């Protein structure tokens, strides 16, 4: 049950919970601040009056020492007495308070009266000093306290509303990018890029950019997979068609020479299919580390066998295929993989040429297929423009850490270069 409730929470509900949480905190803080401010005002009012009364004592003592009579009126609110007898009858019990007492009296002796008890020397004797001040005349009235409380409450309410507005805007601003990204993920329109509102936090912008990057990578991988499937289907269907056709032809003629030709066609198609399957399976082998650790020498005989496979197509287009073997390099791909790599490059060169010579150059650090055809256009120079055959070449090159480079010839045509890893390449004209 807890898991289902957690999963059912949405960005909108989280925003409401966050707003409610901070509103509760703001309300509690407001109540505490209001209570503390009221207590502080009461304490400050009493403290000011007590200090005023204590500071008046020196003036009263000086006057009594000069012969002033008791009671002595000081200012509009303070009365000074120099003996117990001079105290009014209702304040006689004030003499019982200890020496140095200075506070507001709120009992039945004297209600709401500030009282200060001290002493002073007069002609060699110690005489008491009593200072009294009516609290009602120096303290704020009930109406004044009411106005202060009303103003304090109004200010607290305004601050609470402002805080609530700020928290609401902030929480929405924090949750809105997540909500927008969620809606975009659910949307059926895949062409629209992920985006967040302007002014969002940097992390949300980086998240949307990462989502766009990953989606683009997925789309590229999907297209590559679809192209790969089409190419593999084509490469496997062609020999199957040859085998099926040759098998049907075997039943139509008893001529031994004719049947021998058909059996040769079947054998060649089966071999081509086997090579294609081995090359394609090499892309998904789990034994990559073991296979990459072994290498073999590329011989002239192996390359000539590959050239013989494309010679019928070259002769049909009146093209000449030449081999320049400068070195016999050490390579890792198996013969079926190398066959698929070179046949794809040679078929592309033949299809792009109407006349001239196609040259296969084998160097210690690379293999080049040079043609004199129509050359490269802008789309063919990008990976998306390689076509199905070169897509397989790209995948195989990545598998063996080779590098495929397509460049235009000096005058015409195209140069397809397979560079080997960990080799110092030499620029060849």
CATH assignment at residue 365: 3.30.565.10
| 319 and 405, same domain (yes or no) | yes
Q: How far apart are CA 70 and CA 382, in angstroms?
A: 112
**Res 6 pLDDT > 60:** no
pLDDT of amino acid 384: 43
Cβ atoms of residues 87 and 95 within 8 Å: yes
Distance CA 102, CA 73 (A): 18
266 and 352: one domain?
Answer: no
Share of the chain above pLDDT 70, in %: 87
Task: Tell me which of 221, 256, 281 is where a domain ends.
Answer: 281
Identify the weakest region by mean pLDDT among 45-59, 63-77, 367-381: 367-381
Could you tell me if residue 361 is inside a domain? yes
pLDDT on residue 388? 54
Question: Both 261 and 303 in a single domain?
Answer: no
Task: Give the three-state DSSP class for 73.
Answer: strand
Q: Mark which of 229, 257, 281 sits at the end of a domain.
A: 281
Model confidence at 247, pLDDT cuts 50, 70, 90, reads confident
* 194 occurs within a structural domain: no
**Which pLDDT score is estimated for 293?**
52
Question: For the chain, what is the domain count?
Answer: 3
In this structure, how many other beta carbons lie within 10 angstroms of the beta carbon of residue 29? 14
Helix axes 142-186, 202-250, angle to 10 degrees: 10
Residue after which a domain boundary falls, among 281, 308, 334: 281
Per-residue pLDDT, 190: 65
Q: What is the pLDDT of residue 263?
A: 86
Position 41 scores a pLDDT of 86
Q: What's the pLDDT tens digit per position in 141-200?
A: 788 888 888 888 888 888 888 888 888 777 777 777 888 888 888 776 666 788 888 877
Residues spanned by the domain of 331: 296-419
Residues 6+ apart with CB under 8 A from 246: 262, 263, 265, 266, 269
Quick one: pLDDT at residue 11? 62
* Residue 163 located in a structural domain: no
Q: 334 and 301, same structural domain?
A: yes
């Amino acid at each position: 049950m807890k898991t289902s409730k957690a999963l059912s929470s949405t960005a909108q509900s989280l925003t409401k919970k966050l707003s409610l949480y901070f509103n509760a905190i703001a309300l509690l803080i407001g109540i505490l601040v209001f209570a503390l401010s009221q207590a502080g005002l009461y304490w400050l009012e009493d403290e000011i009056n007590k200090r005023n009364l204590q500071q008046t004592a020196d003036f009263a003592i000086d006057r009594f020492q000069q012969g002033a009579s008791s009671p002595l009126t000081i200012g509009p609110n303070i009365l000074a007495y120099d003996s117990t007898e001079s105290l009014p009858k209702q304040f006689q019990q004030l003499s019982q308070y200890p020496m140095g007492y200075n506070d507001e009296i709120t009992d039945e002796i004297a209600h709401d009266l500030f009282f200060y008890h001290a002493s002073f020397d007069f002609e060699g004797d110690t005489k008491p000093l009593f200072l009294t001040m009516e609290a009602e005349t120096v303290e704020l009235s009930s109406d004044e306290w009411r106005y202060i409380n009303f103003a304090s409450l109004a200010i607290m309410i305004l601050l609470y509303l402002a805080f609530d507005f700020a928290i609401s805007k902030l929480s929405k601003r924090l949750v809105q990018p997540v909500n927008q990204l969620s809606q975009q993920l659910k949307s059926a329109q895949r062409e629209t890029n992920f985006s967040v509102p302007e002014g969002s936090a940097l992390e949300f912008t980086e998240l949307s950019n990462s989502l766009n990057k990953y989606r683009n990578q997925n789309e590229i991988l999907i297209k590559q997979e679809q192209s790969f499937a089409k190419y593999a289907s084509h490469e496997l269907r062609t020999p199957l068609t040859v085998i099926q056709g040759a098998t049907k032809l075997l039943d139509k003629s008893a001529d031994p020479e004719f049947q021998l030709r058909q059996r040769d066609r079947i054998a060649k198609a089966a071999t081509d299919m086997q090579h294609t399957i081995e090359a394609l399976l090499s892309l998904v082998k789990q034994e990559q580390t073991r296979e990459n650790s072994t290498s073999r020498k590329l011989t002239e005989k192996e390359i000539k066998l590959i050239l013989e496979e494309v010679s019928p197509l070259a002769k049909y287009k009146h093209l000449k295929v030449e081999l320049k073997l400068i070195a016999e390099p050490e390579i890792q791909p198996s013969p079926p993989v190398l066959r698929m790599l070179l046949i794809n490059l040679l078929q592309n060169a033949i299809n792009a040429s109407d006349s001239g010579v196609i040259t296969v150059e084998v160097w210690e650090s690379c293999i080049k297929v040079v043609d004199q055809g129509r050359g490269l256009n802008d789309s063919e120079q990008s990976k998306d423009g390689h076509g199905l055959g070169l897509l397989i070449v790209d995948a195989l090159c990545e598998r063996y850490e080779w590098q495929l480079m397509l460049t235009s010839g000096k005058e015409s045509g195209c140069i397809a270069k397979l560079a080997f890893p960990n080799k110092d390449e030499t620029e060849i004209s």
